[in-house]
Amino acid sequence: MVYSENELVFCVNCKKEIENIKKQGVMTKEELLLVKHPQKVFQVNYPIKKDDGTIEIITAYRVQYNLNLGPGKGGIRFHQDVDLDEVSELAFGMMLKTSVTDLPFGGAKGGVRINPKNYSKSELEKISRGYVRELFNAVGPTKDVPAPDVNTNPQIMSWMLDEYEKIAGEKSPAFITGKPISDGGSEGRDKSTAMGGFYILGEEYADVEDKSSICVAIQGFGNAGSVMAELLYNDGYKVVAISDSSCALYDKNGLNIPKILEKTYKDGSKIARLDSLDLEKITNEELLELDVDLLVPAALGGVINSQNADNIKAPIVLELANGPVLPDAEQILEAKGTRIIPGLIANSGGVIVSYFEWDQNLKGEHWTLEEVNTKLKDRIIGAFSKIKDLAQKENLSLRKAANKIAIKRVIDKADIN
Ligand code: NAD
């Protein structure tokens, strides 16, 4: 195979992520060559009959970016803009995440190109079942294990599992994760992403006796951000700012998170937005620039960029969201000594507990919440320690060290004839 330094054009485009890692200098030419293409790419187009009797063709994707470490693992998102490039990019990210956390999985991702708001429940069920029928031969407990992602949920996983088991003619709960507990889902999956990040912070601040001396701002109050706020509050940290898409709340003496949760979000379902509360409001932009000890972006990608990086004062940023710090902002932050705990490890709690769900299903077990959290803590702290050790040994940022470990593990298992 001929490799050219400038040959970064792919049939399926995963340029951005690979370019970023390439710039970090943590990949050799040979490693780059081995990960620059997704291994398996599927596009399917299938008809469903809508409630009004009309027929619609649904376009959907599954990309198994790399299967060197085991079956593919990655969510399925329902979104009107989803395309092969995006799914491929996300599958590449999953490959790095499963690798750095030492899971026996490769990286995969799926997408269905629809706006779910435009479909009834029964139409969504047909779309979900159709996805599994079309991709049945490519997925399965030992081939590729899907999970929820943007706009998909335990109900959709449940329909997909049912369809898979009907075709397979046998019970096969390990086919998919993020299921309802009644279908073989795991305890702790709902809070696992924040829980993983929380354990990492426990390591970061292991020497701090009085956690109330640590002021925290959290952007995003959804599944990841609100759980993180609650965990930190209960552990004694001073959470001074939180936000959702409506506004940010600020109290320099610390917010009463349980009270806010009581008034806004119950059992994970949003019943009011933060701007409905009678508390001091600031903007989301101001929240990011607060003079705090710890900043946790837990909403959108790209919120810390070249425009605001100079104004970020927190010495530690924990990426609970995917990609909140853009590469050009990272350079600015690095130059002033900000420690960025990359999403690859910081938000990997979700995929780790997905792995536990698959493992329990294969063994016919159901672990207690305590067992799940103990195992999560061991695994995420173990992976984080390896990243820190390499970063220190080779004088790398945590992100570069994480990427280097992830790529190496994938390449070491490459099957080259
Ligand atoms: P979510 O939809 O439950 O919550 C998102 C939150 O962000 C909401 O509170 C929303 O109001 C807020 N938000 C939206 N736009 C905003 C804006 N412009 N400014 C401030 N806040 C805004 O999503 P989630 O599951 O909590 O995921 C949040 C991030 O974490 C995403 O980047 C996601 O990819 C990442 N992540 C989540 C998981 C998981 O298991 N939930 C796992 C890994 C990574």
> Given this model, what pLDDT does residue 267 score?
52
Asked whether 65 and 108 are in contact (CB, 8 A), the reply is yes
Res 66: pLDDT: 95
Residue whose CA is closest, atom 25 of ligand 1?
A: 223
What are the residues whose beta carbons fall under 8 Å from the beta carbon of 364, sequence distance 6 or more? none
Tell me the three-class secondary structure of the chain, residue by residue. Answer: CCCCCCCCCCCCCCHHHHHHHHHHCCCCHHHHHHHCCCCEEEEEEEEEECCCCCEEEEEEEEEEEECCCCCEEEEEEECCCCCHHHHHHHHHHHHHHHHHCCCCCEEEEEEECCCHHHCCHHHHHHHHHHHHHHHHHHCECCCEEEEECCCCCHHHHHHHHHHHHHHHCCCCHHHCCCCCHHHCCCCCCCCHHHHHHHHHHHHHCCCCCCHHHCEEEEECCCHHHHHHHHHHHHCCCEEEEEECCCCEEECCCCCCHHHHHHHHEECCEECCCHHHCCCCEECHHHHHCCCCCEEEECCCCCCECCCCHHHCCCCEEECCCCCCECHHHHHHHHHCCCEEECHHHHCCHHHHHHHHHHHHHHHCCCCCHHHHHHHHHHHHHHHHHHHHHHHHHHCCCHHHHHHHHHHHHHHHCCCCC
> Rounded to an integer, what distance in angstroms lies between the CA atom of residue 205 and that of residue 73?
31
Are 48 and 130 contacting, i.e. CB atoms less than 8 angstroms apart? Answer: yes
Q: pLDDT value at position 270?
A: 58
* 8 A C-beta contact, residue 145 and residue 76: no
Q: Whose CA is nearest to atom 13 of ligand 1?
A: 245
Domains and CATH numbers, the chain: 14-185 (3.40.50.10860), 191-346 (3.40.50.720)
Distance (angstroms) between ligand 1 centre and the Cα of 265 equals: 14
- Ligand 1 atom 30, closest CA: 321
Burial of 10 (0-12, 13-18, 19+ CB in 10 A): middle
Interval between CA 224 and ligand 1 midpoint (Å): 6
The residue contributing the CA closest to ligand 1 atom 38 is 193
- Comparing C-alpha atoms, which of 10, 14, 160 is closest to residue 87? 14
- Asked if 12 contacts 392 with a C-beta cutoff of 8 angstroms, the reply is no
Distance (Å, whole) CA 131 – CA 205: 45
pTM: 0.93
Residues 6 or more apart whose CB falls under 8 angstroms from that of 176 comprise 145, 146, 147, 157, 160, 161, 164
Catalytic residue among 73, 97, 109, 179: 109
CB-based contact 413:69 (threshold 8 Å): yes
Q: What is the amino acid identity at position 389?
A: D
pLDDT digits (tens, 9 = 90+) for 387-415: 999 999 999 999 999 999 999 999 988 88
CB burial string 96-132: b at 16+ within 10 A, e below: bbbbbbbbebbbbbbbbbbebeebeeebbbbbbbbbb
Question: What separation, in Å, do the N-terminal and C-terminal C-alpha atoms of the chain show?
Answer: 12
Residues with CB under 6 A from ligand 1: 193, 219-225, 243-245, 284, 298-300, 320-322, 347, 350
Pocket test for ligand 1, best of 347, 353, 357, 380 (most atoms within 8 A of CB): 347
Nearest residue by C-alpha to atom 22 in ligand 1: 245
Q: Is 400 among the catalytic positions?
A: no
**Can you tell me the distance from the alpha carbon of 80 to that of 112, in angstroms, rounded to the nearest whole number?**
8
Alpha carbon of 309 to ligand 1 centroid (Å): 20
C-alpha of residue 322 to centroid of ligand 1, in Å: 9
Token reading at 304? 């810390």
The residues of the chain scoring below 70 in pLDDT are 1-15, 265-271
Among 82, 186, 193, which residue has the most ligand 1 atoms within 8 Å of its CB, making it the best to mutate?
A: 193
